[in-house]
């Protein structure tokens, strides 16, 4: 392990002349593993003598230490006996040297005597530092290897770290993605719950929340008014039916976007309430906007030409507007209801206009609220009754049947069906009302039949809304069973609006009623849009020409040509044509000549009670012809 190549130094003789104790140097070079000699390194006293002393005594005296630094250090060590040596790492001549210098102490008498003998004098005493072990290791190569290894390791670690970082990044990204996904999913779910999926506009729920907030502003006096507008697309179902649902959907999106654009300019909020109905709310802070302005602006902005899926559509809308100033009882629901009342006022006025909830409408609203509250009792108690309006043969003017029409007299005041029928429809009472009127009409007719000794046809009206429920078929069947009335004599009248609702389910019920033996009449024919096409959609037995047709006969000759063709067409299709609203004898003659089969109207009496002679005449005619 220890190679004694250079053992002694000339230092000795140099120092000696100066009469100092000069140690020799035991240079021991070539130890490959510095640490492997830790015993020697750390504690020279316990190291064996052979290790501390050269193999041949005195050999050290002949060695020469060339390193000035080491010499200087050994000299210091020799002077200070308590020195424990030196442990250093230095760079020398481009080499990395690990060096340990340990004092060589004269620990045995034999050493002292031997050395003194060789030196020819009492140079050393026991315990003197006689020299030093210099143990050096060239660490250049291992360091280089280590460095290489370290660099390799460094890059491996770096590479591994990069991989780890990448993997962690990926994981993190996945976590972030998952979280983002969840956040997105949650916010999307929230969005869906509060927005309409077709137009992406807020839905009714969100609209009501916004209305509450705007009301809070009003109460806190941070705004002067809150204006609500409801927009309903006129005859939207026709767009769907004639141009397709894609075009209908695209139109709703466009209208929603246009309305939202306008309302946003006012700092307002737009929502789709459902179907073809939109609502907007604006808070007015500086008094610049009035309900009338909003109504007319909406008409201007919305009623324009749209390009929807390559189809040009020019829709019309009805609008109802209400502002807080217009209400006695202030609350979001009332404000919305008021806008709704105004919207229906627009519809009643003939659509394509905007109505404001003003004093007149407020009175009407109050009246409607009142009538709605007393309507159920009026139906149940028989306050709403039927009258029988005569229908006569167009040629002979002989009485052939009646139309049952509802009449309501409340507190001595007569209320028009035009007023209470829509209320009954809105409150879902129309089914009961229609059946109550039918029952009463059958009872009235019974009395007439016993008087006239013959059977008459009975027409009765059902609302389009009735045909949206299965109750109608069951209820009519029940009435037929309980009254024993011949279903072959019964005609159900339905208006063209049935095509604007869920036609397929309405059609199914109409088929069931036809199977019971009833005849089905298409009422108010000619007031709708594609009236002729409706004729092909169901096998109506009767077509009732609307009275507006007869009124127009006076105004324009082309009307009579049109009416004549319509009557011919219906007749050719095997339908019975009834002309209603015949008020004068010349009208009766004219429509009879044009081919109508049955006539009805003021000319023949609006109510059989007020024209009993007709009944008498018919019974006489009947008896004569029998």
- Between 196 and 493, CB nearer to ligand C2E: 493
Gap between the Cα atoms of 589 and 582, Å rounded: 10
- Between 232 and 493, CB nearer to Ca ion: 493
Question: To the nearest whole angstrom, how small is the minimum distance from the Cβ of residue 531 to ligand C2E?
Answer: 15
Gap between the Cα atoms of 327 and 182, Å rounded: 45
Residues in contact with 97: Cβ distance below 8 Å, sequence separation at least 6, in sequence order: 89, 90, 91, 136, 137, 138, 139
Q: Which of 602, 609, 610, 620 binds ligand C2E (CB under 6 A)?
A: 602
Question: To the nearest whole angstrom, how small is the minimum distance from the Cβ of residue 606 to ligand C2E?
Answer: 5
* Nearest partner of 578 among 559, 561, 597, 564, judged by Cα: 597
Helices 204-219 & 332-348, crossing angle to 10 degrees?
Answer: 120
**Residue span binding ligand C2E (CB under 6 A) among the ranges 475-483, 509-517, 528-536, 575-583:** 575-583
Question: To the nearest whole angstrom, how small is the minimum distance from the Cβ of residue 517 to Ca ion?
Answer: 20
Gap between the Cα atoms of 423 and 407, Å rounded: 14
- Chain-centre distance for alpha carbon 462: 38
- Between 295 and 601, CB nearer to ligand C2E: 601
- Chain-centre distance for alpha carbon 571: 52
Work out whether 496 is an interface residue with ligand C2E (CB under 6 A).
Answer: no
Given Ca ion, ligand C2E, none, residue 78, with its beta carbon under 5 to 8 Å by kind, binds none
Closest-by-Cβ residue to ligand C2E is 601
- Between 20 and 602, CB nearer to ligand C2E: 602
What is the CB neighbour count within 10 angstroms for residue 426?
14
Query: In sequence order, what are the beta bridge partners of 281?
Result: 228, 269
The residues in 350-409 that bind ligand C2E, with binding defined as CB under 6 A, are 405-406
Given Ca ion, ligand C2E, none, residue 583, with its beta carbon under 5 to 8 Å by kind, binds ligand C2E
The residues in 474-493 that bind ligand C2E, with binding defined as CB under 6 A, are 493
Given Ca ion, ligand C2E, none, residue 115, with its beta carbon under 5 to 8 Å by kind, binds none
Cβ–Cβ under 8 Å, residues 320 and 339: yes
* Nearest partner of 496 among 470, 459, 522, judged by Cα: 522
Helix (H, G, I), strand (E, B) or coil at 509: helix
* Nearest partner of 70 among 6, 128, 123, 127, judged by Cα: 6
The 426-465 contact track toward ligand C2E, x by CB under 6 A, reads: --------x--x-----------------------xxx--
For the chain, count helices (H), then strands (E).
21, 21
Given ligand C2E, Ca ion, none, residue 437, with its beta carbon under 5 to 8 Å by kind, binds ligand C2E
The residues in 404-433 that bind ligand C2E, with binding defined as CB under 6 A, are 405-406, 416-418, 421
If you search the block for the tokens 């006012």, which residue do you land on? 266
Cβ–Cβ under 8 Å, residues 462 and 493: yes
Contact residues toward Ca ion (CB under 5 A) are 461, 493, 523-524
- Between 383 and 583, CB nearer to ligand C2E: 583
Question: To the nearest whole angstrom, how small is the minimum distance from the Cβ of residue 468 to Ca ion?
Answer: 19
- Between 59 and 606, CB nearer to ligand C2E: 606
Gap between the Cα atoms of 261 and 270, Å rounded: 9
**Residue span binding ligand C2E (CB under 6 A) among the ranges 20-28, 270-278, 555-563, 594-602:** 594-602
- Chain-centre distance for alpha carbon 626: 71
- Between 284 and 542, CB nearer to ligand C2E: 542
Gap between the Cα atoms of 558 and 113, Å rounded: 157
Provide Rg for the chain, Cα atoms.
57
Question: To the nearest whole angstrom, how small is the minimum distance from the Cβ of residue 493 to ligand C2E?
Answer: 6
Question: To the nearest whole angstrom, how small is the minimum distance from the Cβ of residue 486 to ligand C2E?
Answer: 20
Q: Which residues contact ligand C2E by CB under 6 A?
A: 405-406, 416-418, 421, 434, 437, 461-463, 493, 523-524, 547, 580-583, 600-602, 606
């Amino acid at each position: 392990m220890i190679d004694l190549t250079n053992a002694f130094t000339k230092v000795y003789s140099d120092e000696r002349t100066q009469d100092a104790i000069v140690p020799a140097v035991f240079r021991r070079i070539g130890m490959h593993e510095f640490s492997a000699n830790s015993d020697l390194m750390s504690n020279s006293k316990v190291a064996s003598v052979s290790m501390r002393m050269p193999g041949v005594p005195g050999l050290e005296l002949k060695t020469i230490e060339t390193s000035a630094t080491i010499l200087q250090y050994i000299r210091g060590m020799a002077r200070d006996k308590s020195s424990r040596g030196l442990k250093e790492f230095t760079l020398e001549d481009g080499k990395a040297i690990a060096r340990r210098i340990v004092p060589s102490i004269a620990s045995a008498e034999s050493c002292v005597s031997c050395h003194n003998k060789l030196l020819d004098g009492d140079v050393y005493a026991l315990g003197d530092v006689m020299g030093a072990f210099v143990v050096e290791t060239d660490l250049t190569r291992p360091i280089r290897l280590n460095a290489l290894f370290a660099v390799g390791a460094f890059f491996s670690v770096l590479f591994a770290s990069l991989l780890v970082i990448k993997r962690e990044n990926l994981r993190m990204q996945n976590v972030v993605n998952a979280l983002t996904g969840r956040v997105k999913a949650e916010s999307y779910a929230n969005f869906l719950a509060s927005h309409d999926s077709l137009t992406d506009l807020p839905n009714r729920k969100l609209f009501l929340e916004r209305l509450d907030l705007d009301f809070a502003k009003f109460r806190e006096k941070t705004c002067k008014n809150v204006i609500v507008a409801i927009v309903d697309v006129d005859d939207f179902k026709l767009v769907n039916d004639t141009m397709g649902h894609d075009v209908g959907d695209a139109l709703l999106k466009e209208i929603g976007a246009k309305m939202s654009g306008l309302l946003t300019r006012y700092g307002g909020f737009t929502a789709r309430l459902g179907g073809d109905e939109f609502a907007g709310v604006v808070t007015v802070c500086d008094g610049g906007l009035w309900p009338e302005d909003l109504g007319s602006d909406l008409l201007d902005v919305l009623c324009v030409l749209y390009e929807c899926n390559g189809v040009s559509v020019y829709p019309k809308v009805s609008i109802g507007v209400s502002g807080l100033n217009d209400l006695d009882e202030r609350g979001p629901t009332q404000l919305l209801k008021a806008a709704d009342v105004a919207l229906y006022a627009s519809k009643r006025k003939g659509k394509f206009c905007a109505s404001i909830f003003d004093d007149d409408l407020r009175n009407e609203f109050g009246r409607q609220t009142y009538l709605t509250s007393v309507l159920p009792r009026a139906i149940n108690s028989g306050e709403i009754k039927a009258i029988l309006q005569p229908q006569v043969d167009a040629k002979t003017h002989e009485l052939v049947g009646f139309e049952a029409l509802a009449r309501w007299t409340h507190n001595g005041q007569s209320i028009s069906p035009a007023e209470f029928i829509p209320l009954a429809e809105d409150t879902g009472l129309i089914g009961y009302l229609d059946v109550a009127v039918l029952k009463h009409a059958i009872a009235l007719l019974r009395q007439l039949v016993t008087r006239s000794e013959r059977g008459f046809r009975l027409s009765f009206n059902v609302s389009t809304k009735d045909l949206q429920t299965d109750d109608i078929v069951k209820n009519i069947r029940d009435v037929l069973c309980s009254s024993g009335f011949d279903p072959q004599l019964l005609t159900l009248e339905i208006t063209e609006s049935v095509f604007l609702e869920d036609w397929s389910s309405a059609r199914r019920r109409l088929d069931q009623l036809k199977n019971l033996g009833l005849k089905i009449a298409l009422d108010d024919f000619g007031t709708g849009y594609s009236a002729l096409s409706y004729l092909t959609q169901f096998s109506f037995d009767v077509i009732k020409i609307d009275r507006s047709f007869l009124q127009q006969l006076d105004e324009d000759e082309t009307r009579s040509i049109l009416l004549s063709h319509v009557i011919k067409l219906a007749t050719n299709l095997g339908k019975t044509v009834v002309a209603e609203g015949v008020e004068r004898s010349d009208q009766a003659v004219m429509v009879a000549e044009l081919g109508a089969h049955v006539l009805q109207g003021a000319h023949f009496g609006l109510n059989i009670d007020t024209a009993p002679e007709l009944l008498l005449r018919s019974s006489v005619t009947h008896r004569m012809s029998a």
